Amino acid sequence: MFDFTLTDKQKMFQEMTREFSRSMVRPIALEADRTGKYPDDLLITLHQAQAGQGRDIRDSGVTANTSENAPDAEEKRKRQTNMLLAILTEELSWGDPCAVLNIPGPGLGGPPVQFMGTPEQRERFFAPFKNMSKPLFGAYALTEPGAGSDSKAIRTSCRKDGDHYIINGTKCFITNGNKALWNVVFATVDPKLGRDGFRVFVIEKGTPGFLEGKVEKKMGLRASETAELVFEDCLVHESCLLGGEKHYETKEGFKGAMKTFDSTRPLVAAMAVGIARAAFEIARDWVKENYTLSRPIERYRTLSDRLSKLDREIHAARMLTWRACWLADEGIPNSKEASMCKVYAAQVAQRATEEAVQIMGPYGVLKNHFVEKLFRDQKVYDIFEGTGQVQRIVISRRIYESIGG
Amino acid sequence: MPTFELDEEIQDMQKMLRDFATEMIRPAYREAEHAGETPSELRESIKELSVHLVDMPEEYGGLGKDIRSAVVLEEELSYGDVGITVDVQDTSIGANAILIFGTDEQKTNLLTPILESGDGIAACFSEKGNPVSPEFIETTWREKEGSYKLMGSKTFVVGAGRAKNYLVLAKKDGSNDWQDLRLFLIAADTPGVVVGDRLGTLGLETCAVADVALMGVKVDSSRVLSAESSDAFKSKLGKVLDYARIVTCARMVGVMSATSDYSAKYSTERIAFDLPISQHQSIAFMVSDNATDVDACRWMTWQAAHEYVRGGESTANRALAHVVERAQKVATDSVQILGGHGFIQDHPVEKWMRDLRALSLIPGNDLFPEHG
């Protein structure tokens, strides 16, 4: 029967991460926001801590940094990798959402390599991350100036020439794209073919014709790199085509890439829950410690009402997130639920940070107050990995499919 | 391990109830509303489904599951129609109170026959003044030679004049001590029990709601429920109310789900500007938000049921506050999707909108708030 008690192991990981987030991440977050950089030693610690959490997380796909075979369905079910990741992501994001985006490893580029790559490719592209003495990244480059969620509209082209491909085009808003060892890059043999024309490459830094684009300046998440990638007659060896040419003869190629998003939207939701909880807790504590007209302001009823409303919404967002993760762990399609938790949690993060700022009044807008940063950080959660509007398109399509409308 | 899985047995019952709700309850909702009661045949067949037994212990004739099963099944019944569900499912909240407060002897003597007969127990908690603590309760008891006498008046009694039993909350005459509070299980035909005129209501018109006056009602001590200390009474009453709140959440989720599904379906059939309105994003997005709210409310309800079973810190109020708030949104938007058709009685969404508002005010929901 349904039950929401964490196992001892899940609880232990949660508490470890919470403590790490409190003592190591939060204290450096404002400084990182100002400089745009995360300290290397913290990133290395993060990487090692994550690796230390063992196979539970490593094999999840999302942070796949191993060439070991993926676990079978029953094993996955027992390990609840998505559930555990969501729990830990919330804790880390509570410390600073940028910390989650800065975890060294293949990042969002991991799942396509894991799901679509040949054994040789997995070995080749994951191997560098076994070195934990410095922070190394992979990245995922699908979005273009004219194509985001509507991915079939991409224009980055690829053309076979001997044993190489020639890539031309521009990618934008790529997390860690500039500093990444390699990017998983989506290109098309012919835009008219839509998704059937897709080819997915792993393009390494330094490949001839892969030019460094600009690193964007942003409203929030400033300690996370967002880069433009430019390909001008970029020459990529055929061994970098994920899965090899045969892989694209069937329609499974693109589905492989899309699997990435069904497993990552809940994690984006978990990050948003972490942000919302952080803002809520700061506002709650601030209310306890401050006085207006010589009364502790927690005695003002409207304030406690507003705080408890946030508390409720944060729990609702977490339950939606857990639901999507549980479905994923059970191997049940969760496209609708992944979109639901993503769209909902982003809105909750937005309301929570806005309320926190409002409750704290002038203190909420000061640069050295954490809620000011959270307020700027949260906005993109309703935008990246599919805007709230795109999520609603996905959800309503799934609903209409199920009732034959 | 966090899981959303249902026992196979409950899953089977859930499926069966969904069919029953759609085929038997749904077609009767309007007639029942206008008549102000559930047709007696339907009432019998719902009672026969034994949903009220699911979370009662086997030794008293129950099925031995817990509230987690109850919320799943109550949601399904309410998916058919919640007016009928509240009207017919009138046993479990009172039965649960006997289970929580009763001695072993009381459970055997009082609970077993009620579970066997499926007789209703109407909760008489509310008074004209909101009884958030004993000093606001005006219904009093006096004890004389092992028997009790009750004086006072209760209001908003759901099932008044229809249930075979009343469960009355009263304080000792002259005492505001929590320890002196008692619950009295009274047979409806006991002399001195006077049911007032039926109150017209915003929604849930299928249910009988009225005041109940207790004019020197004599109650035998075997039918008096008490606790050993003030703290024990508070915590037990808290448990009784939590149970009622969680079940109410489940029922509201059932209606939200029904109205959300109904309006989604309607949007695929209604044409405007040469397209089914489902193809207009302003409608599709409302459908999407409705479905998301229904899911969130369901999982909040399940989480509260889980904490109830585990005995952890209660989250019933939190769930209820959330469900109540979102229910209004989902109900209103569903009516909006149907436009003019949402406003008239050819479709059920206008009724469900009123029902949801009424449900959120059902007695017990706003009593003894711990947090809100």
Q: What is the mean pLDDT of residues A153-165?
A: 95
pLDDT at B122: 96
pLDDT at A253: 57
* Whole-angstrom distance, CA of residue A257 vs CA of residue B207: 54
Q: What is the mean pLDDT of residues B258-280?
A: 96
Q: Does B7 touch chain A (CB under 8 A)?
A: yes
**Are residues B149 and B180 both part of a single domain?**
yes
Residues of chain A with a CB closer than 8 angstroms to some CB in chain B: 1-7, 10, 80, 83, 305, 308-309, 311-313, 315-317, 319-320, 322-323, 326-327, 336-337, 340, 343-344, 389, 391-393, 395-396, 399-400, 403-405
Q: What is the mean pLDDT of residues B5-18?
A: 97
- Measured between beta carbons, which residues in chain A are less than 8 angstroms from residue B295? 320, 323, 337, 340
CA distance A297 to chain B (A): 17
* Whole-angstrom distance, CA of residue A81 vs CA of residue A87: 10
Q: Tell me, which fold does domain A8-130 have in CATH?
A: Butyryl-Coa Dehydrogenase, subunit A; domain 1 (1.10.540)
Interchain pair A320, B281: CB under 8 A:
no
Nearest to B302 among A2, A312, A317 (CB): A2
pLDDT at A255: 65
Q: Tell me: the pLDDT tens digits for B22-36?
A: 999 999 999 999 999
**Are residues B257 and B318 both part of a single domain?**
yes
pLDDT at A29: 97
Q: Is the pLDDT of residue B263 over 80?
A: yes
* CATH number for B280: 1.20.140.10
Neighbouring CB atoms inside 10 A of A235's CB total 16
- Measured between beta carbons, which residues in chain A are less than 8 angstroms from residue B292? 320, 340, 343-344, 395
Percent of chain A's residues with pLDDT above 70: 89
pLDDT confidence band for A176 (50 / 70 / 90): very high
Q: Would you say residue B74 lies in a domain?
A: yes
* Whole-angstrom distance, CA of residue A188 vs CA of residue A156: 6
**Are residues B348 and B237 both part of a single domain?**
yes
Q: Tell me: the pLDDT tens digits for A259-268?
A: 656 678 999 9
Contact A141, A187 (CB under 8 A): no
Q: What is the mean pLDDT of residues A99-123?
A: 91
Where a domain ends, among B117, B146, B172?
B117
pLDDT at A262: 66
**Residues in a beta bridge with B167:** B123, B185
Contact A56, A17 (CB under 8 A): no
Q: What is the mean pLDDT of residues B342-353?
A: 96
Q: How far is CA B363 from the centre of its chain?
A: 9
pLDDT at A61: 43
Amino acid identity, position A151: S
Q: What is the mean pLDDT of residues A139-167?
A: 93
Q: Would you say residue B371 lies in a domain?
A: no
**Residues in a beta bridge with B224:** B184
Interchain pair B278, A400: CB under 8 A:
yes
Q: Does B318 touch chain A (CB under 8 A)?
A: yes
Q: Is the pLDDT of residue B56 over 60?
A: yes
Interchain pair B3, A3: CB under 8 A:
yes
Q: What is the mean pLDDT of residues B43-60?
A: 96
Q: Which of A188, A328, A288 is nearest to A248 (CA)?
A: A188
Q: How far is CA B330 from the centre of its chain?
A: 20
Give, to the nearest 10 degrees, the angle between helix B281-310 and helix B67-80: 150
CA distance B220 to chain A (A): 40
**Are residues B279 and B220 both part of a single domain?**
no
**Are residues B70 and B183 both part of a single domain?**
no
Contact B276, B370 (CB under 8 A): no
Q: Is the pLDDT of residue B242 over 70?
A: yes
* Whole-angstrom distance, CA of residue A78 vs CA of residue B242: 33
**Are residues B46 and B150 both part of a single domain?**
no
Question: What does each C-alpha distance from A225 to A118, A139, B154 come to in angstroms?
Answer: 29, 11, 65
Told to judge if A385 belongs to the known catalytic residues of this protein, a careful annotator would answer yes
Q: Is the pLDDT of residue A51 over 80?
A: no
- Measured between beta carbons, which residues in chain B are less than 8 angstroms from residue A400? 264, 268, 278, 284, 287
Q: Is the pLDDT of residue A59 over 80?
A: no
B145: left (phi over 0), alpha (psi -120 to 50) or beta: left
Average pLDDT, chain B: 94
**Are residues B252 and B136 both part of a single domain?**
no
* Whole-angstrom distance, CA of residue B204 vs CA of residue B362: 10
pLDDT confidence band for A63 (50 / 70 / 90): very low
Q: What is the mean pLDDT of residues A379-387?
A: 94
Q: Tell me: the pLDDT tens digits for A318-372?
A: 999 999 999 999 989 999 999 999 999 999 999 999 999 999 988 888 888 899 9
Nearest to B291 among A313, A399, A404 (CB): A399
Q: Tell me: the pLDDT tens digits for B91-131?
A: 999 999 999 999 999 999 999 999 999 999 999 998 887 66
pLDDT at A273: 98
pLDDT at B81: 97
**Are residues B197 and B241 both part of a single domain?**
no
Q: Is the pLDDT of residue B362 over 80?
A: no
Assign domain A253-402 to a CATH class: mainly alpha
* Whole-angstrom distance, CA of residue B305 vs CA of residue A4: 10
Chain A residue at shortest CA distance from B266: A405
Lowest mean pLDDT among A68-82, A304-318, B118-132: A68-82
CA distance B211 to chain A (A): 32
Question: What does each C-alpha distance from A330 to A76, A83, A333 come to in angstroms?
Answer: 8, 10, 9
- Measured between beta carbons, which residues in chain B are less than 8 angstroms from residue A276? none
Q: Is the pLDDT of residue A282 over 50?
A: yes
Amino acid identity, position A118: T
* Whole-angstrom distance, CA of residue A132 vs CA of residue A119: 22
CA distance A395 to chain B (A): 6
Count of domains forming chain B: 3
- Measured between beta carbons, which residues in chain A are less than 8 angstroms from residue B291? 336, 340, 395, 399
pLDDT at A57: 45
* CATH number for B94: 1.10.540.10
For residue B313, what are its two tokens? 């810190």
**Residues in a beta bridge with A185:** A141, A201
pLDDT at A74: 76
Q: What is the mean pLDDT of residues B199-220?
A: 94
Give, to the nearest 10 degrees, the angle between helix A26-35 and helix A370-378: 60
pLDDT at A62: 43
Q: Would you say residue B366 lies in a domain?
A: no
Between the two ends of chain A, the Cα-to-Cα distance in Å is 33
pLDDT at A298: 62
Interchain pair B300, A1: CB under 8 A:
no
Q: Tell me: the pLDDT tens digits for A219-257?
A: 999 999 999 999 999 999 999 999 998 888 776 656 655
Q: Does B245 touch chain A (CB under 8 A)?
A: no
* CATH number for B220: 2.40.110.10
Assign domain A138-249 one CATH number from 3.40.710.10, 3.50.50.60, 2.40.110.10, 1.10.10.10: 2.40.110.10
* Whole-angstrom distance, CA of residue A324 vs CA of residue A263: 9
**Are residues B67 and B86 both part of a single domain?**
yes
Q: What is the mean pLDDT of residues B341-365?
A: 88
Question: What does each C-alpha distance from A216 to A175, A186, A227 come to in angstroms?
Answer: 10, 21, 6
Q: Would you say residue B339 lies in a domain?
A: yes
Between the two ends of chain B, the Cα-to-Cα distance in Å is 29
Average pLDDT, chain A: 89
* Whole-angstrom distance, CA of residue B211 vs CA of residue B369: 23
Lowest mean pLDDT among A70-79, A85-94, A223-232, B328-337: A70-79
Domain ranges, ordered by start, for chain A: 8-130, 138-249, 253-402
**Are residues B179 and B281 both part of a single domain?**
no
Chain B residue at shortest CA distance from A302: B372
Q: Is the pLDDT of residue A186 over 50?
A: yes
Contact B81, B32 (CB under 8 A): yes
CA distance A405 to chain B (A): 5
A404: left (phi over 0), alpha (psi -120 to 50) or beta: left
Interchain pair B2, A80: CB under 8 A:
yes
Nearest to A322 among B2, B10, B261 (CB): B2
pLDDT at A77: 79
User: Mapped to the 3 state alphabet, what secondary structure does B175-220 carry?
Assistant: CCCHHHCEEEEEECCCCCEEEEEECCCCCCCCCCEEEEEEEEEEEE
pLDDT confidence band for A212 (50 / 70 / 90): confident
Nearest to A323 among B7, B299, B310 (CB): B299
User: Mapped to the 3 state alphabet, what secondary structure does A170-237 carry?
Assistant: EEEEEECCCCCCEEEEEEECCHHHHHHHEEEEEEECCCCCEEEEEECCCCCCCCCCEEEEEEEEEEEE
Q: What is the mean pLDDT of residues A161-186?
A: 96
Where a domain ends, among B94, B117, B140?
B117
Domain residue limits at B25: 8-117
pLDDT at A289: 83
Chain A residue at shortest CA distance from B275: A405
